[in-house]
Chain A
Amino acid sequence: MSNETLGPEDAQTALNEVNRMQAAATDVSEEPTWSKIAVALITGGLVATPMAENSGSMVAILMAGLVIVLSTGRQKRGASALAVPPSKKGRVAMVAIVTFALSMYIGGIVLRDRFDLSWGPLLAGAILAGVITVATLTPTSDRP
């Protein structure tokens, strides 16, 4: 079949099928709840590392944990979502989360160094973990 013999109805049917399969792809690559919570806690932990005496080792351990959690989920599901979401909405959300995580990291250090609050990074990490958990567990209608 060429595009010259393809009518509007056929094209619409094909588009509906594309949408159905893209929704199926989103479902099949969906991280399980335990994985979402683990990623949120590990990310929060990374932001809280300036509080630890040996922050270098903590970062290494948490990064290894993150890799294990993500690769275990990927192997179990047999699929992994694109690192950069295909939809504009998804990309904007990702940039917003990275910006928020960085501001929490800097905020934690500022609390520790400027205001002498040693638990500042821990507070920042806890807030970030909470926000990521809520954001990733909230159902979304965002489909590619």
Chain B
Amino acid sequence: MTKARFDPVIHAPARLQLCALLGPLQDAEFSVLANELKVSDSVLSKHIKQLAEAGYVKATKRKSAGRQRTWLNLTSKGRKAFAGHVAELQRLAGMS
């Protein structure tokens, strides 16, 4: 069972969206994430850096069609933290 735990690293709107987007995915390419979140590359990079520093997101660079692309995935630590944060949000939402 997931332990409900508020996570300030995840709670910022853009990072919460990013974790929610990566949750059901094995991995996703940087440009796809920027497009879905409707944020600029620099803003997305900043949030990814914060999540990566917490050990929640891992970036992998791969070459495809002659271009270097960055693929991102939630780590198991990130999945656990995200599940805990969502459980805490559900607990708080149920208080009304």
Q: Given known contacts A1-B11, A18-B20, A75-B64, what 6 new A-B pairs fall within 8 Å (CB)?
A: A3-B88, A18-B17, A25-B24, A28-B32, A82-B25, A144-B24
Q: State how many angstroms separate the Cβ of B69 from the closest Cβ of chain A.
A: 8
Q: Are A25 and B23 touching (Cβ within 8 A)? A: yes
Q: Is B31 an interface residue (CB 8 A)?
A: yes
Q: Are B8 and A22 touching (Cβ within 8 A)? A: no
Residues of B within 8 A of A22 (CB): 20-21, 23-24
Distance between Cα atoms of A96 and B45 in the complex (Å)? 40
Distance between Cα atoms of A19 and B93 in the complex (Å)? 14
A77 to chain B: closest residue by CB: B32
Interface residues of A in 25-49 (CB under 8 A from B): 25-26, 28-29
Residues of B within 8 A of A82 (CB): 24-26
How many chain B residues touch the partner (CB < 8 A)?
29
Q: Are A78 and B32 touching (Cβ within 8 A)? A: yes
Q: Is A11 an interface residue (CB 8 A)?
A: yes
Interface residues of B in 45-96 (CB under 8 A from A): 64, 86, 88-90, 92-96
Residue-wise, chain A 1-32 has the 8 Å CB interface mask toward B (1 for contact) of 11100111111101101111110111011000
Residue-wise, chain B 7-45 has the 8 Å CB interface mask toward A (1 for contact) of 010010100110011111111110110001000000000
Q: Please provide the 5 A-B residue pairs with the shortest distance between their CB atoms, ordered closest to farther.
A: A8-B96, A3-B6, A78-B29, A21-B20, A11-B92
Q: Is A102 an interface residue (CB 8 A)?
A: no
